[in-house]
Amino acid sequence: MSIKAEEPILKEEKKSNKFQWFLFVIVIPLFFAIAIALVVMTISGINVFDLAQKYSGNIPIISSILSNDEDKEDVTENVFTLKATIEDQKAEIANLQAEIEGKQNDLKASQEEIDKLVNEIKALEAKEKEATIKLEELAKVYETMSAKKSAAILSVMANKDTIDILVKMNNETRAAVLEKMEPKKAAELTVLLKAEEKKAEINTEG
């Protein structure tokens, strides 16, 4: 065998000798010393695991390994808390939306009721206007008749109906009709006429 062929073998033997030296001189004695230290501390009542956790916090790598599980638990708890908060907020939003829709429906119903009342008022005003026109026309008919004949007809009518017609007559014709009535009936109608005129003045001022 040549010298060049023997050189790789010698190099491998040197590496193997160095590894064996490191193993027997450093590694094995170190583990043995650690084992003895653990036994001594355990016999002395020292909690080895608590001690390791305490001092490992000062070592970044070990600290990160030990705290990794705790961080995961914290993150998981925070995620659940946030999800619960989101669900609560969604429920609250849904309740508010339902309340808004309810209010809108109430407003819609109220507006419909208002529109209905307004239409009823308009219908009543139209009827009142129509009745007023008819009364004015009827009063004109009585004005064309003789005072004696008008007094005879109006005397047998209800006082309210008679007043409604007399109010629409002009003052001259009204006075002539009342003159042809019986004094008692004329007196009653005169009092009612004054009350009606006073009411009309109040409504005008209002």
Instruction: Compute the average pLDDT of residues 123-133.
Output: 85
Q: What is the pLDDT of residues 9-53, one digit of tens each?
A: 555 565 666 667 766 777 677 777 776 766 666 676 666 555 555
Report which DSSP code applies to 77. H
The two structure tokens encoding residue 140: 């004109």
Residue 179 has pLDDT above 90, yes or no: yes
Residue 68 has pLDDT above 70, yes or no: no
Let me know how long the chain is.
206
> Of the candidates 149, 168, 150, 162, which has an alpha carbon nearest to the alpha carbon of residue 188?
162
Residue 167 has pLDDT above 70, yes or no: yes
CA distances from 194 to 58, 118, 124, 164 (A): 109, 33, 26, 12
Q: How far apart are CA 171 and CA 58, in angstroms?
A: 116
Q: How far apart are CA 167 and CA 108, in angstroms?
A: 44
H or E stretch at 157: none
For position 73, what pLDDT does the model report? 66
Q: How far apart are CA 169 and CA 196, in angstroms?
A: 14
Number of Cβ within 10 Å of residue 16's Cβ equals 10
On whether the CB atoms of residues 164 and 135 are closer than 8 A, the answer is yes
On whether the CB atoms of residues 189 and 178 are closer than 8 A, the answer is yes
> Of the candidates 168, 155, 172, 158, which has an alpha carbon nearest to the alpha carbon of residue 197?
168
Split at pLDDT 50, 70, 90, the class of 183 is very high
Instruction: Compute the average pLDDT of residues 148-172.
Output: 91
Percentage of residues in the chain having pLDDT higher than 90: 22
The more confident residue out of 145 and 80 is: 145
Residue 93 has pLDDT above 50, yes or no: yes
Per the prediction, the chain carries an average pLDDT of: 78
Split at pLDDT 50, 70, 90, the class of 173 is very high
Look at the block and give the residue holding tokens 């006082």: 159
On whether the CB atoms of residues 178 and 205 are closer than 8 A, the answer is no
For position 191, what pLDDT does the model report? 93
What three-state secondary structure class fits 86? helix
